[in-house]
Amino acid sequence: MFAQGGVLAALLIPVHILVQGVLGPLGIVTVVDRHYDTWISILGNPIVKLYLLVLISLPFFHFAHRLRYLLVDLGIPAAKGLPVQVVFYGGAVLVTLVAVWVLLTTAPLSLG
Amino acid sequence: MSIEVEAAPPTATRTYRPAMGRGWWTRKSHYFWYMVREFTALPLALWLLWLLFEIQRAGRGASGYYPPSSTPFVIFSVICLLFALYHSFTFLSLAGVILHFKVLDKPVASRLIVLSQFGGWLVASIVIGAVLIGFGR
């Protein structure tokens, strides 16, 4: 999951940040999340829900691994221990569960 | 005449632990950029958490939804974008080392594998960008 999360983060996240985080807010392009109607409509699509779950969840397993080893590299021995592993990888699991809950409860399923 | 040699008592095996200061990564630029690469996970995680929050806010109804347009948010996104691009560049560049393919019993050149990864990144960016912009109004 470390590799898959890394690949997904590399392939997909930059364009989301560029469009939804920079170009949209600056008004350079029209973006789907700038209006409630378009945003809630696309969030109801099951393929979009699945895509967003994968986009958010898998990279977190990659991030958990990298950030834990960042602490190890910074000379924090506790980062090798079980409690820290539980916090980091458990955090990735928690984000996954929250993402599932948010995606299932935010917009009703719609194929339109 | 005889020489008596006393056997030395067995000593416990000691593990060699190299002493490395916490600031080792500041000594060379190569080490520093390695740590930056590892650190990219944090801003990307924060941005994805914002995206999740943005999705959750849509569930509150039309009256409670307002898209973020503030300057601090755009600055935050630009910083995250720089880290995201660095993650993409370093991660996809490694593909030539990690992935090994054979076509007609001949190994595919690592440069070609890296090129295919960057090509995939371009295609994915165009498709996702087109969906995000195309469904907007």
Between A13, A35, A62, which is nearest B84 by CB?
A: A13
Do B32 and B89 reside in the same domain of the chain?
yes
Give domain limits for chain A. Answer: 2-106
The pLDDT, as a whole number, for residue B66 is 86
Q: Do B36 and B72 sit in the same domain of this protein?
A: yes
Nearest to B133, CA basis, from A18, A63, A52, A49: A18
Per-residue pLDDT tens for B25-78? 888 999 999 999 999 999 999 999 999 999 999 888 888 788 888 999 999 999
- Tell me: do B87 and B49 sit in the same domain: yes
pTM for the full predicted model: 0.86
B126 and B76 belong to one structural domain: no
Clarify whether residues B78 and B120 are in a common domain: no
**pLDDT exceeds cutoff 60 at B2:** no
A16 and B116 Cβ atoms separated by less than 8 Å = no
Q: At what angle do helices A82-106 and A36-43 cross, to 10 degrees?
A: 110
Q: Is B46 on the interface with A (CB under 8 A)?
A: no
Confidence of residue B8 (pLDDT cuts 50, 70, 90): low
Q: State how far residue B32 is from chain A, nearest Cα, in angstroms.
A: 11
pLDDT greater than 70 at residue B9: no
Q: Select the residue of A34, A63, A98 nearest B136 (Cβ to Cβ).
A: A34
Structure tokens at B98: 């990690």
- Choose among B22, B48, B136: nearest Cβ to A32: B136
Q: What is the pLDDT of residue A76?
A: 86
Q: Are residues B86 and B33 in the same domain?
A: yes
Query: Domain residues for B111?
Result: 99-137
Locate B132 and state its tokens: 């995000």
Residue A16 has what pLDDT?
A: 97
**B7 — pLDDT class (breaks 50, 70, 90):** low
Classify residue B7: in a domain, yes or no.
no
B73–A contact, CB cutoff 8 A: yes
B45: in domain: yes
Q: Has residue B109 been placed in a domain? A: yes
Task: List the structure tokens of A48.
Answer: 């979009």
Based on the domain organization, do B84 and B128 belong to the same domain? no
pLDDT of residue B95: 79
Report the pLDDT value the prediction gives residue A6, as an integer from 0 to 100. Answer: 86
* Residues ≥6 apart with Cβ < 8 Å to B117: B92, B95
Residues B89, B52 share a domain: yes
Question: Cβ–Cβ of B128/A95 closer than 8 Å?
Answer: no
Do B33 and B86 lie in a common domain? yes
* CATH class, A2-106 region: mainly alpha
Give tens-digit pLDDT for B14-29.
877 767 777 888 889 9
Mean pLDDT for back-to-back runs of 10 residues, chain A (112 residues): 84 96 94 92 93 95 93 87 93 96 87 66
- Shared domain check, B121 and B74: no
Domain presence at residue B21? no
**How many other C-beta atoms lie within 10 A of the C-beta of residue A20?**
23
Number of structural domains (chain B) is 2
CB contact burial B38-76 (16+ within 10 A = b; e otherwise): bbbbebbbebbebbbebbbbbeeeeeebebbeeeeebeb
The distance of Cα B20 from the centroid of its chain, to the nearest Å, equals 24
pLDDT tens column, B91-128: 999 877 777 778 888 888 888 888 999 999 999 999 99
